[in-house]
Structure 1
Amino acid sequence: MIKNYFKSKLFLKYIWSYLFILLIPLILMTIFIYQNAVSSLRSEIEQSRSNQLTQAKVIVDGRIKELSEIASRISYDNRLTPYRVHDPIYSGEAIQGLDQYKSTSSIIGELLLYFHQDEKIYSSKGLYNFDVFAKVFSFGNWPTDKLFLDLNTVKYPTMRPADTVTKSSKISDSMLAYLIPITPNSPTPHGTVMYLIRESELTSLIDSILGNYQGLTFILDNEGHILVDNRQGEAMTSAAAKSLINLEPGIHEQTINGKPHSVVSVKSQNNGWTYVTAMPSAQFFSSVLHVRSFIILLFCIIVLVGAAIALVLARMQYQPISMLVQFAASKSNKNRQQGGAEAPGNELDRIRSTLQEYSSRIDLQEPFARNHFLSMLLKYGNVQSLTPELLQVFDLRFDRSHHFVVVIGSGNKGGSPSDRQELIRLLNQIEFPELKAVGYGVELSQLDQLGLIFSFDLNVDQAETFNRVREIVEAMRSRVLAIMDDIPMIGIGVGTCYDSPDQLNQSFIEACSAFELRSSIEPGSITYFERLSDEPQHADWIPNNTLMKLAQSLKQGSYDVAEPIIESVFRNLQTTQVSALLTRCICFDLLNTMLKTASELGIHSAAQDMAPAAIYGNSLDELERTFLTLASRICNQVEQNNRKEEQTLMERIAAYIDERYTDHSLSLESVAFTFGVSPSHVSRSFKEKIGQNFIQYIWQKRLEMVIQQLKTTSDPLKDIILRVGYQDTPNFTRKFKKETGYTPGQYRKLFSENEQARQFSELEDE
């Protein structure tokens, strides 16, 4: 089944559409997640570096502060006063004291004490003459005279940038010199404490900041001089280094050596030093390779899962379409059996084509279906059992408080079908807003009669109800006469108004009775069933209108109406307790009405079989059952006779069509008018009795005639189409192709080729 689905372009379109719906947001989401992951990771690394750099700054500041505290203690230490230091007896204690102070900080490479204008300088190792000291500690960028001057003139703690120091042992080391005047914060210091700090002591702290990343790390003093320069795999020009001096604290993007770098700057509030690290931005991407790999793997998995989901969703969406296509194809099997080609386009096009065809058929049949629906209401009532959807389709409402039926004798039997259709159109749905009433027209089987079902709202007594019924009927009569004054109305019969629409069949029987027994022969006269004599000749006899209603219900074959009438009569006999003789006479009156009606209908067998039981019955219950059985048999016989008459009538109509189907004026209305029945009755009964609806039957006859003409003659197609009664050649050609799969010209050519092949085959056999 799946393989068959993949043969469908529509199914593939569904799959691609679902994949696009999945992939477009997925790709955008993946790009967003990837960029966000890279940005987040980069931000995390930069923030981590900023935190570590801040931590290194705190540690370095702490160590420098320790050096200042050591210098302060030295300035107040009695062992290290100028007098004690120069005294040969106490000088050893001074050197020992300096060594003790040196050991208190791990970053001190050497601790030196110098008193202004002194020829000697003291260290933790011993006493040096200044000339000897200059030879033991040789600074690459700090001449001896400048060194002597700085030691004598420094007023504030000063850190010298890292310089190469060569000791007498020819060992060179990169060291920083930190000069602190003593006494600290004194405007007239008397000496200087000088610390020699290996640069590696500070760079070891900075190395922990970069970790595995390559980059540059600097410590700059408050004047912008590079104190510490730590480089891992990258060099920097002096101009580039100076560009980092004025950076604000924080994280920055800067191009260094033509490459983008991430620069983190932290400034110390204690000494004004600036700590800077610069890392190439390209390194971050190497850190996110595993993130990218994971995202790509996740993307592939989601695509595969999405493809499976897309396949399932496409199949779920395509399956009902496939079923509809199969249904549409099953309706055109005849086309394929006759060699017809499949309809062009995809499945939706074929479904659309089928729906359009069915829609056109429904549009043609809807008036007849609506009329049939209303006819069933008149015959059986029972509106409450109908579905709201069905009422909505036909635009019908029976939710008002009162309902009754009107039967109109149109007097149009000798007129034209167009006049009757105009009257039907007028009465199809008629409204009287001022009376809160709406009416629905019904074509009765008799050509000269129409029915109207009225519903209206009124919450008053019975007398007011009749007045409102009369107002509605008069308004209806006036409107019809005003518009259709050329169509006389021979009479109007009005049934009783009921509270429930389920009793419409009762009102219809009463309207038919009123129409048949109308008291005036004046055209357009109105007869109300309620105003027919409802008084019996004697107090206990059955009212005349009840007997008329019973007779009419038997004529209509409506046992549902006849049954409650008979039951009501016997219920009254049981409650009034009249004499046995009067009871027998009343039963004879009822029996006489039923037998007379049966005789008029030509139903003699039922009367002969049931009459004795009705005459000689003993109890009222037995008589009631007998009368109900008689009514049932009469109604059943009427139904059978009606079916036989309809079957005979439809056969006559079919024969009539067979003789005249080439007449282009042949139509449902003209045929109905010819046979004296309503078009809706012909439409409904023709389909039931013949098996095809009226239009299809005529079309099939014409199609068969055209096919025969194509096979046996060489006449032009237009002449053939006109000959069979079809005047629209393009439309006929389109329907012919839909029915057979070929145009008439293609069909004629195909048949000619097949006929030649058959004849050639017969010659070869001979």
Structure 2
Amino acid sequence: MKSDYFKSKLFMRYIWSYLFILLIPLAFATIFIYRSAVSNLQSEIEQSHLNQLNQTKTIIDGRVKELIEIASRISYDERLTLYKVHDPYYSREAISALDNYKATSSIIGDLFLYYHDDDKIYSSFGMSGLDVFSDKYSFHKWTQNGLRQDLNTLKFPKMRPADLVSQPTSLQQSILAYLVPITPNSPAPHGTVMYFIPESELTGLIDSILGSYRGLTYIFDNNGQVLTNNGNEESLTAGDLGALFKLPPGIHNQTLNGQSHSVVSVKSDKNGWTYVTLMPSAQFFSSVLHVRSFIILLVSIVVIVGAALALLLARMQYLPISNLVHFASSKSRSSRTSGNELERIRISLQEHSTRADLQEPYARNHALLMLLKYGQTKSLSADLLEAFDLKFDHDCHFAVVIGFDKRSHLHDSKDDWQTMIQLFAEVDFPGLAARAYSVELPQPNQLALVVGFDPSGQTPFGQMQQIVEGIRTHLLELFDVSPVIGVGTAYTSHAHLNQSYIEACSAFESNILTVHGSVTFFEKLSNAPERSTFWIPGNVLLKLSQSLKQGSYDVSEQTLQEALKNLPAAGLSAPHLRLIHYDILTTLLKTASELGIHGLTQDVLSKLNFNSSEEFEAICLDLAGRICSQVERDRTKEEHSLMDRIVGYIDNHFMEHTLSLEVVSAEYGISPSYLSRTFKEKTGINFIQYIWQKRMNEVMHQLKTTNDPLKEIIVRVGYLDTPNFIRKFKKETGYTPGQYRTLNTSGEHA
């Protein structure tokens, strides 16, 4: 009787009806899921590259700024005057000075000093004639006459594109030449500082942008000329390069060499350079190959099951009602199970597509931290603040520094600390017309608040007291802690938040030294008993000391000018005025001593015979500048040294399953967010990826060199979730651990 089913048109109509009902929605669902996977992956990669390009731009801008600053210091260095570099007695000291300047920047390959109309050029290797220099460094596209003309006539800094340089004692090397006239920004420069920058220094940086994806990265100068590119793909035509240079900053789709490309472009506000990354769009489809294979397999299974289900449903329609009910009840679960599996795939893809960029909280915190340290700068544009949803639309702004004693349970509770950071990420005080943003500071268990408010009927200081009291009460109610709080002065623009932050740090430091768990306002510090400060308020000297400790020259300059501006009009006697001057110098020298900066006292003593307040102010500003510069150098050196120690610590402890961001940050006394951000700047990858790669390499090594069971190896390297490790291992290598061991051991025996 079954063979008669297929002879019936009604039965065949049932079958085709059910098949169409199944296949049409299934086809649309499959296309939607696959397109969503590709689109979401492409969007995430493009956004990631946009962030990395901006980071690369910032780093390169900083390096170029360093080169200009080095040239400025060279122009004022008495050891490098034209007379001394020519003098046989002083020339060795000049060469040593150039060598020291060369060592201050990691991207400098060679450094040269040239004075206009001189037939000699000077470097850390010594003095040589221009003809000898041209023979030693033979550029393919930069003639000897062109070199001489650029050295003598250049009035503005200029970066030459990468060019092959032939040297007698080595192979050809691609080098960028950066020329800075000295004195910088002078309308009539008297010489030129020339840096040789190996192209590999820049390409090594921009290669990290693409990661595992194929593509090109270009750096254009402000005239559209290619300075350098990573050279991983064949070069583009001049027309394509011109089109890339003219693209506005952002993410674009562009057809180049007959292929569709995803193009990401950013532009530097400081030097006008344009950074462009382009990747073939086709590789986004290949990146979701495993998703496509899985979908095809799942569709095949569903089609087979659906065909069987259609046959059964048609038979149920064709047979008596009793048989139809029986078969429907017995097969309906299978249909729902298939549908649920597809639904779970769809939900997982949607969840994957809605994940926020993990770097956004750190970037937001970094932007606020830069605002506190340097005030409103060009790097913190209105668009950037808007992207982070940071609004500074109030009339007054001030900074608050909050710290917690080690005895507080917040010191040991990661969850409570993170909860507090999230709660204070943005806090509104409607009754006081105020809003606050939290900033996690590099010091552990410390955060700052950026507060904006609109003055009401009461005094601004009274309103500030109510806001701070509200913050303190909020902390006490939610976390049962009484923090140490320092409060800076309120300013009418958020551009002066660096001033308020320095004041808040001063108040906080004074608070720690006096009463724990209390609130100190910087404005009230001036009411403290004065000892040797005479008519200069004590909080001004405290602010001066704190600005030097923070390395903030802008704030220390303004503070010094504030301290000195009213002295001439005070009618003080000369001895009395000199005592006040000595008090200011004592503050500067004492702060330098506390920072471990020695050797300034003798230099200052030699300049004490000043004849006017202007000369004294110049001496103080010079001293403050030297202290701030040294603080910045020490801080940068300490950051590099600290990251080197942290990387070494991870290399020695990566096989411990308890190793985490919080454990390492506690070990070195820094905040987790600061460690996460700085670690990625140092290594190029985030903390979790670095540990995973170390463990992955160790597992691969032990698979090749031992016969130990896989589970034992995985647990030994600190990874407790064996199934998840195997899945990630196969995704990264294309093999299961067992297949990897078999391939490598068989290869060795062969």
Q: For 1:518, what is the secondary structure of its paired residue?
A: helix
1:446 aligns with 2:439: no
Report the identity percentage: 51
- Residues in 2 aligned to 1:321 and 1:493: alpha-carbon distance in whole angstroms: 53
User: Which residue of structure 2 lines up, in the alignment, with residue 612 of structure 1?
Assistant: 606
AA aligned opposite 2:414? P
| Superposed CA offset, 1:537-561 (max 9, x none) | 7997211110000000011111111
Amino acid paired to 1:709: Q
For 2:475, the equivalent position in structure 1 comes to 480
Q: Deviations over 1:481-530 (max 9, x none)?
A: 11111x442x1111111110011111111111111112885542110011
The Cα of 1:319 is off from its aligned counterpart by 5.2
- Partner Cα separation in structure 2 for residue 476 and residue 736 of structure 1: 48
Partner letter of residue 549 of structure 1? K
Name the CA shift for 1:341/1:514 in 2 (closer, same or farther; >3 Å): closer
Give the structure, 1 or 2, with the largest relative contact order (CA under 8 Å, sep 6 or more).
Answer: 1
Q: Closer, same or farther in 2 for the Cα pair 1:708/1:468, shift >3 Å?
A: same
In structure 2, the partner of 1:657 is 650
- In the TM superposition, what whole-angstrom CA distance separates every residue of 1:118-169 from its partner, at most 9, and x where no partner exists? xxxxxxxxxxxxxxxxxxxxxxxxxxxxxxxxxxxxxxxxxxxxxxxxxxxx
Counterpart of 1:688?
681
Q: Deviation digits for residues 76-121 of structure 1, max 9, x if unmatched?
A: xxxxxxxxxxxxxxxxxxxxxxxxxxxxxxxxxxxxxxxxxxxxxx
Match of 1:409 among 395, 403, 426: 403
1:671 aligned counterpart, secondary structure: helix
Shift of 1:467: 1.0
1:123-138 equivalent positions in 2, closer than 5 A? none
Q: Residue 380 of structure 2 aligns with which residue?
A: 386
Contact map agreement 2:397 2:492 (CA 8 A) in 1: yes
Instruction: Give the counterpart of 1:668 among 626, 638, 661.
Output: 661
- The alpha carbon displacement at 1:445 in A equals 1.8
Given residue 430 of structure 1, which amino acid in structure 2 is its aligned partner? V
AA at the equivalent of 1:557 = G
Give the one of 701, 709, 717 matched to 2:710.
717
Q: Structure 2: how far apart are the matches of 1:331 and 1:565?
A: 55
Aligned position for 1:563 = 557
- Structure 2 residue aligned with 1:470: 465
Specify the SS of the correspondent of 2:442: coil
Aligned to 1:524, the other structure's residue is in SS state coil
Aligned to 1:376: 370
Query: Cα distance, 1:369 vs. partner?
Result: 2.0
Equivalent in the alignment of 1:677: 670
Stretch moving more, 392-401 or 623-632:
392-401
The answer to whether the Cα contact below 8 Å between 1:438 and 1:456 also exists between their aligned partners in 2 is yes
Out of 645, 648, 668, the position equivalent to 2:641 is 648
Between the aligned partners of 1:619 and 1:647, the Cα distance in structure 2 is 43
The correspondence for 1:702, drawn from 676, 695, 699, is: 695
- The 5 Å alignment of 1:433-582 reads 433-458=430-455, 464-485=459-480, 487-489=481-483, 491-518=484-511, 521-533=514-526, 541-582=535-576
**2:397 counterpart of 1:400:** no
2:150 corresponds in structure 1 to none
d(CA) in 1 for partners of 2:698 and 2:357? 27
Q: Equivalent residue of 2:394, what SS?
A: coil
AA of the residue aligned to 1:398: F
- Identify which of 423, 427, 436 aligns with 1:426: 423
- Alpha-carbon distance in structure 1 between the residues aligned to 2:281 and 2:692: 17
1:27 aligns with: none
Offset of residue 323 of structure 1: 5.3
- Distance (Å, rounded) in 2 between the aligned partners of 1:683 and 1:360: 23
| Shift in Å, 1:578 | 3.5
Amino acid paired to 1:474: E
- 2:578 is aligned to 584
Residues 508, 722 of structure 1: CA spacing in aligned structure 2 closer, same or farther, 3 A cutoff?
A: same
Counterpart residue type for residue 442 of structure 1: V
Shift of 1:730: 3.9
Alignment of 1:89-168 (within 5 A): none
TM-score (norm. length: structure 2)? 0.52
Correspondent of 1:744 among 733, 737, 747: 737
- Structure 2 CA distance for aligned equivalents of residues 314 and 689 of structure 1: 33
Contact 2:261 2:278 survives alignment (8 Å): no
* Counterpart amino acid of residue 712 in structure 1: T
Given candidates 585, 591, 612, the residue that maps to 1:597 is 591
State how far apart, in whole Å, the 1-side matches of 2:679 and 2:379 are.
27
Q: Which amino acid aligns with 1:500?
A: S
Query: What one-letter code is carried by the residue in structure 1 that aligns with 2:645?
Result: R
User: Which residue of structure 1 aligns with residue 626 of structure 2?
Assistant: 633
CA contact (8 A) 2:486 2:504 kept: yes
> CA separation in 1, counterparts of 2:714 and 2:518?
50
Sort the Cα spacing of 1:679 and 1:360 in 2 relative to 1 into closer, same or farther, 3 A.
Answer: farther
Contact 2:557–2:621 (CA under 8 A) maintained in structure 1: yes
2:728 counterpart (726, 730, 735):
735
Once the two structures are TM-superposed, the CA of residue 458 in structure 1 deviates from its matched residue by 2.1
Distance 1:322 1:457, change over 3 A: closer
Aligned counterparts of 1:590 and 1:726: Cα–Cα separation in 2: 58
Query: Matched residues in 1 for 2:552 and 2:671: separation?
Result: 20
Q: CA separation in 2, counterparts of 1:331 and 1:697? A: 28
User: Which amino acid letter does the alignment assign opposite residue 668 of structure 1?
Assistant: L
Does the 8 Å CA contact 1:412/1:420 hold for their aligned counterparts? no
Structure 1 distance, partners of 2:745, 2:622, is 66
SS across alignment from 1:578: coil
Aligned to 1:82: none
Query: Quick check: 1:402–1:455 contact (8 Å CA) kept in 2?
Result: yes
| Cα distance change, pair 578–694 in 1 and its aligned pair in 2 (3 A) | same
In structure 1, the residue matched to 2:146 is: none
Query: What CA distance in whole angstroms lies between the structure 1 residues aligned with 2:639 and 2:497?
Result: 24
Residues 403 and 499 of structure 1 are in contact (CA less than 8 Å); yes or no, is this contact kept in structure 2? yes
Secondary structure (helix, strand or coil) at the match of 2:402 reads strand
**Which runs of 5 or more residues in structure 1 are unaligned?**
1-9, 15-312, 334-339, 760-766
Following superposition, the deviation at residue 693 of structure 1 comes to 2.8
- 1:616 shift after superposition: 1.8
2:542 match: secondary structure: helix
Task: State whether residues 254 and 263 of structure 2, in contact with CA within 8 Å, keep that contact through their aligned partners in structure 1.
Answer: no
Query: Counterpart of 2:432 in structure 1: which amino acid?
Result: L
Instruction: Look at both structures and tell me which one has the larger radius of gyration over its CA atoms.
Output: 1
Give the Cα–Cα distance (whole angstroms) in 2 for the partners of residues 700 and 505 of structure 1.
40
Q: Does the alignment pair 1:726 with 2:715?
A: no
CA shift for structure 1 position 365: 2.6
Residues 525 and 331 (structure 1 numbering): CA distance in 2 closer, same or farther, change over 3 Å?
A: farther
Shift of 1:464: 1.2
Q: In 1, are the aligned partners of 2:643 and 2:679 still within 8 Å (CA)? A: yes
CA contact (8 A) 1:598 1:607 kept: no
Q: Is the 8 A contact 2:397 2:490 kept in 1?
A: yes
Alignment-mate amino acid for residue 412 of structure 2: G
Cα RMSD for the two superposed structures: 3.9
SS in 1 for 2:359: helix
The code of the aligned residue for 1:475 comes to G
Going from structure 1 to structure 2, the CA distance change for 1:316 and 1:658 (only over 3 Å counts) comes to closer
Indicate the SS of the match to 1:616.
coil
